[in-house]
A and B are shown apart, each in its own frame.
Chain A
Amino acid sequence: MAQLTFREAIARGIAQEMRRDESVVLLGEDIGAAGGVFKGTVGLLDEFGGVRVRDTPISEQAIVGAAMGAAMTGLRPIAEIMFSDFFAVCWDIVANEIAKSRYMTNGQMSFPLVIRSGNGGGLRFGAQHSQSVENWAMMIPGLKVVVPSNALDVIGLMAASIRDDDPVVFLEAKVLYSSKMDVPDGEIVDTLGSAKVLRTGSDATLVALGAMVPKALDAAQELAASGIDCTVVDVRSLVPLDTSTILREVGATGRMFTVEENPRLCGWGGELSSIVSEEIFYDLDGPIVRITTPHIPLPAADALEDMAIPSVERIVTTVTKSMNA
């Protein structure tokens, strides 16, 4: 057992897989000697060398394109896109090429690759370095989308993503990079498409993702003190989506609150709301409520950013109001 930060967990998960599989290689900006701007790849160059851990120019299309070409010819590349906002400059290759080519070629090609990226706000970086873009990736057929919320899950889900034969967009909540937790020694491998129930309650189910998970847990604790007993589900993976766990946990309490960092429109909670309404409508005791960032670009000032991203206080207030309505 060792205490690890979220960022250390990234390097540990990658190293675990690089030791067992020579075909795992890394590319991205500043990932080698610098260890990544968020320090997610510290130590990998020293252990695995410059042939497997390669710095690239600031060329996002070249980075994800090279990952695709390498994946279709037998490697398992892990590409880093430094900030997930930068997916916008290489989205053609992610959305049009990587995602579609297996289907278009009638299964002739596979793309066992991972694109890691720092995602979301909370660090006062302003609108172009703070977006939560999980909904961009979720809406593209052919991409898997994984969003861990703690160090242990980072290792296991990273391993599962690397071993998966499909392309995985692996979004790391930047605000969680310094969070710590005790992690067991030895190999850790998780399963994609499995949500986790982190707390069980009888009144309402909070469904959260990434950086919103610790906030949902804190909110649940406060709500319990005022007599509202909440289940908290960590979605962990948007594609594949563990609808059976979510439907079961929402059905058990009769209420669903989603906690989403993405801007309002077309957030994953909208899709979940639709699934819950269609499939367990008669198990619901009240409206589904989505707690999201408003439909705005994220502002830089700490006071403004804190107003925009769902806070523990906003979760508590929204749930209380709705439960007492």
Chain B
Amino acid sequence: MATTTVHSGPTELATKLDMYRSQVALRQFETRAYDLFLENLVKGTSHLSLGQEAIAAGFATAMKKDDWTFATYRGHAHTLARGVPMTPVLAELLGRSNGLMAGKGGSMHLTSVEHGVMGSYAIIGAHLPIACGAAWSAQYRGTDQVAVCFFGDGSTNIGSFHEALNFAAVWKLPVIFVCENNLWMEYTRTTEVTSVVHPAADRAVAYGLERIVVDGNDADAVYDVASTALARARAGEGPSMIEAMTYRHGGHSRADPGKYRPDEEVAEWFAKDPIPRYRARLLDEGASEEQLVAIEADVAAEVEVATEEAKAGGIPGEDLLMKDVWADGGSSWRN
């Protein structure tokens, strides 16, 4: 696979350790979320990013606090990576009143405006034009904010993807489109239903954008392309499209064991698991085993606390049901 791997990453080891911590947190959180499905405490559906953590962590580390994230229904990782605490996210999955949206959104719609997480969108491709709008707003108001929009390979074949790319390019918007190409569009191999090998990068060229493919299982490589694209956007040079190659460890959603994928392919990608890879690199670059173990233990404790706090959360009351359809806080449609 023609994948560019450059991995200088952040210059400070401390930042790299933070990026490691972020990946470990996403991994441990979602592993716990999966266990809670099995206990039937998480209802409905849910889509995990296990195996894809380096993209969320790499980008979030490179972004400024007031930049914006637009995520998909596979959005737990992107939400947590921006600094949203674990407890409200887990409580949202459990449908509790201490959830991030008090249980009104659920797993697929995680949003935390105060952390710049401007929504998780569950209709394929819908958020690409919406991210353009946020970028337009930053451009109009003269802030240097950037909208970063994550989506899967399957989104590249829907109309809004193409509308958004052209629109962003023509208006020179400070938006970064990040395709997390995990090779499988739900249950179908993406290349079987797509006219080009790199569904995002190959199409980017048609909209006058650079063709960028990055190893999405290498947090440093992701951090580097993210930093370049963010600087470009802030300099008024317009949008970027980044295709990050990765692989989900599990199926598409909770209901999918992912058995359609060949064993050799799964094995190959588990060998490229971003977290052990990054751990080994940190040791090479001067981090101590004790430091890494301490991070892992600290995250594990955080997950335990979040689990207890989420489980202890209240059941949302009827008062919430009719609230917040309108900006006046209510839902009345008549007098």
Which chain A residues have a beta carbon within 8 Å of chain B's beta carbons? 25, 51-52, 54, 56-57, 59, 61-75, 77, 92-93, 96-97, 101-110, 112, 141-142, 164-166, 193, 239-244, 275
Contact = CB atoms under 8 A, between A and B. Distances in A.
8 contacts: A61-B159, A65-B133, A69-B134, A75-B136, A105-B111, A106-B323, A107-B323, A108-B112
Contacts of A59: 129, 163, 166-167
B123 interface: yes
B318 to A, nearest CB: 15
B142 to A, nearest CB: 10
A107 B135 contact: no
Given A25-B140, A59-B163, A69-B136, A64 B104 contact: no
Interface stretch (B15-23, B264-272, B325-333): B325-333
B109 interface: yes
Contacts, number: 166
B326 A104 contact: no
A96 B160 CA distance: 14
A106 B101 contact: yes
Contact of A69 (B100, B102, B135, B159): B135
B141 interface: yes
Contacts of B118: 69, 72-73, 109
A240 B327 contact: no
B329 A193 contact: no
Nearest to B161: A61
Interface of B: 68, 100-102, 104-105, 109, 111-113, 118-119, 121, 123, 126-138, 140-141, 147, 159-160, 163-164, 166-167, 170-171, 320, 323-329, 331-335
Contact of B327 (A52, A65, A101, A102): A102
B109 A104 contact: yes
A62 B132 contact: yes
From B133, B136, B333, name the one whose CB has the most chain A CB atoms within 10 angstroms: B133
Given A96-B126, A103-B104, A193-B335, A62 B167 contact: yes
B137 A74 contact: yes
A57 B167 contact: yes
A142 to B, nearest CB: 5
A66 B133 contact: yes
Contacts of A112: 327
A70 B109 contact: no
A106 B113 contact: no
Contacts of B137: 69-70, 73-75
Given A65-B128, A106-B323, 18 more contacts: A56-B167, A61-B129, A61-B164, A65-B130, A65-B163, A66-B136, A66-B167, A69-B129, A73-B118, A73-B134, A92-B123, A97-B130, A102-B325, A102-B327, A106-B324, A108-B113, A141-B331, A193-B335
A240 B332 contact: yes
A71 B132 CA distance: 12
Contact of A65 (B109, B132, B329): B132
Contact of B119 (A101, A103, A142, A242): A101
A71 B159 contact: no
Contacts of A67: 133
A167 B171 CA distance: 24
B126 A92 contact: yes
A243 B335 CA distance: 6
B91 to A, nearest CB: 12
A64 B129 contact: yes
B129 A103 contact: no
A102 B164 CA distance: 23
A191 to B, nearest CB: 11
Contacts of A193: 334-335
Contacts of B102: 106
A68 B129 CA distance: 9
Given A59-B166, A61-B129, A104-B105, A97 B121 contact: yes
B133 A69 contact: yes
Contacts of B111: 101, 104-105, 108-109
Contact of B130 (A69, A142, A275): A69
A101 B327 CA distance: 11
Contacts of B119: 72, 101, 105, 109
The 4 A-B pairs with the shortest beta carbon distances in the complex, nearest first, are A69-B133, A65-B129, A165-B327, A107-B324
Contacts of A142: 325-326
A270 to B, nearest CB: 15
